[in-house]
Amino acid sequence: MDNSTFAALPPVPDTIHIAGEALDITPLKIGELPAFARAVQPLAAKLGPEPDWLQLIAEEGAAVIQALAIACRKPPDWVSALALDEAIALSEAVFEANADFFIRRVVPEVLRVTAGMTTRIGTLTPGLTSSSASSGPDIATPTS
């Protein structure tokens, strides 16, 4: 058996205990992605190799809370009430569940589909190679 044998199985949740509750953290579902993407958009541009976490939280704290709420499937008020150490543990679990999911499952699937579509497009439009190679005939343009 190889890794693809188990690819169709749902991911095993990472159960963490936060604020006296057991939370099952799993990768985001497709229906959660639009809201999550909107929540993390202001953060994405500010993340780098060494982000200024204090400034990031000061400027985008509401976005962090919203993203965590979506990812852990709890209301934003619940996330806002967490102690700092609990919020950090929750953030770590959410990141680990989704980073692995995106890197190991989503990216390879998107690449597979893209390659398949490129192949199909090529068979439907023979001779079409690229926009630069498929331009029309040269047209003389007067220079004066």
Q: Could you report the per-residue pLDDT of 14-72, keeping only the tens digit for each?
A: 899 999 999 999 999 989 989 998 898 888 777 777 777 778 888 999 999 999 999 99
Query: Is 131 domain-assigned?
Result: no
Residue-number span of the structural domain to which 104 is assigned:
9-123
* Distant-in-sequence, close-in-space partners of 105: CB < 8 Å, separation ≥ 6: 7, 27
CA–CA dist 94, 75 (Å, integer): 15
How many domains would you assign to the chain? 1
Query: Is 143 domain-assigned?
Result: no
- pTM recorded for the entire structure: 0.64
pLDDT, tens only, 87-113: 989 988 998 888 876 666 656 766 777
* Distant-in-sequence, close-in-space partners of 88: CB < 8 Å, separation ≥ 6: none
pLDDT greater than 80 at residue 11: no
Query: Is 67 domain-assigned?
Result: yes
Query: Is 137 domain-assigned?
Result: no
Query: Is 133 domain-assigned?
Result: no
Query: Is 64 domain-assigned?
Result: yes
Per DSSP, helices labelled H in the chain are 33-44, 53-72, 76-80, 84-101, 107-124
